[in-house]
Amino acid sequence: MDERRDPQPGDESPRRPVAAAVTLPPVQQAWSRYATHTLACPACRDIDQRCEESGRLYRAWQAQADAAYRRLRAETA
């Protein structure tokens, strides 16, 4: 049986708290906007409806991801 112990120096919790002031990279911000929208939008949740905003946010995320990939490729080439 494991006994609870105080954190030791060098212990790294996999889920440490994130400071509120931290800003996500643009790719993650774009994905967050898309996911937040689709979870809350009635049209996105209805399989029989189309949502132009969702498509726009998804394409914006794709553009950010493509740009990040191109930058990474240029840096490692």
- Write out the residues near Zn ion by the rule CB under 5 A: 41, 43-44, 51, 53-54
Nearer to Zn ion by Cβ, of 41 and 68: the residue is: 41
Contact indicator for 57, 33 with CB cutoff of 8 Å: yes
Nearer to Zn ion by Cβ, of 25 and 49: the residue is: 49
Nearer to Zn ion by Cβ, of 21 and 40: the residue is: 40
Amino acid at 58: Y
Nearest approach in angstroms of CB 55 to Zn ion is: 9
Query: Quick one: 37 exposed, middle or buried, by C-beta within 10 A (0-12, 13-18, 19+)?
Result: middle
